[in-house]
Amino acid sequence: GESVGLHLPTLSVQEGDNSIINCAYSNSASDYFIWYKQESGKGPQFIIDIRSNMDKRQGQRVTVLLNKTVKHLSLQIAATQPGDSAVYFCAEKKGNNDMRFGAGTRLTVKP
Amino acid sequence: GAVVSQHPSWVICKSGTSVKIECRSLDFQATTMFWYRQFPKQSLMLMATSNEGSKATYEQGVEKDKFLINHASLTLSTLTVTSAHPEDSSFYICSVPGQGSYEQYFGPGTRLTVT
């Protein structure tokens, strides 16, 4: 079936560096994509979202890029901090349908 | 956004017993709530959609007689794991859709350990 997945299960970066987390999706009908951050023992926390009619959206220190041609989604975190260490999930949604999550990438920030 | 709480935050129970997990939308009325299950180092998997005043909709492979869902009010949905087994040990997370069709707010999760 169609699914959302991630390229890398783990990512380790130095504090201050930029981080890029990737996600591949296969449902071309999805019209909404979201990145969530999940810290250990907690529920997912919304980071940033993007609709399918956009290719880039920026937030505070974060940028999401959407490439519909290759069905690829990425999350860029600028000046990564130790507090950014967590598991990051991409998720997709089509209209009012339920949200589907990708496999997740664990980001570790080394001081 | 909506504030979602879950109770308990963690629970340990013995095999064969039943456990009830509550999901509350504290500041938003929700006709729909979602229940997810997350095993260690894995992603969130949707179990079921809880519908206020009607039956829940279960995902394929989720036993409706084992995971009982009751959405009795616009602010409360409960998930009861019946006859729990060690393989039911997991992190259970609920979510509430926001006012827009795309928004979704997650609870803090409930850690269930079945011994």
**Are A43 and B101 within 8 A, CB to CB?**
no
- CB contacts, 8 Å: B48 with chain A: none
Distances (CA, A) of B71 to A45, B50, B87, B91: 24, 6, 25, 20
Q: Which residue of B has its CA nearest to A102?
A: B43
Confidence of residue B101 (pLDDT cuts 50, 70, 90): low
Residue whose tokens read 């926001």: B98
Q: Is the pLDDT of residue B91 over 50?
A: yes
How far apart, in whole angstroms, are the C-alpha atoms of residue B54 and residue B6? 21
Contact B114, B103 (CB under 8 A): no
Smallest Cβ–Cβ distance between A42 and the set B42, B45, B108 belongs to B108
Q: Which residues in chain B are contacts of A100 at CB distance < 8 A?
A: 46
Cis peptide before B97 (omega within 30 of 0): no
**Residue in B102, B103, B110, B111 to test binding to A, most A beta-carbons within 10 Å:** B102
Query: What's the average pLDDT block by block, 10 residues per block, for chain A (111 residues)?
Result: 53 97 88 94 93 95 96 96 96 82 92 90
A56, A64 in Cβ contact below 8 A?
yes
Helix (H) or strand (E) holding B71: strand B67-73
Residue A48 phi/psi, 5-degree rounding, is: -160, 155
**Cβ neighbours, 10 Å, residue B91:** 20
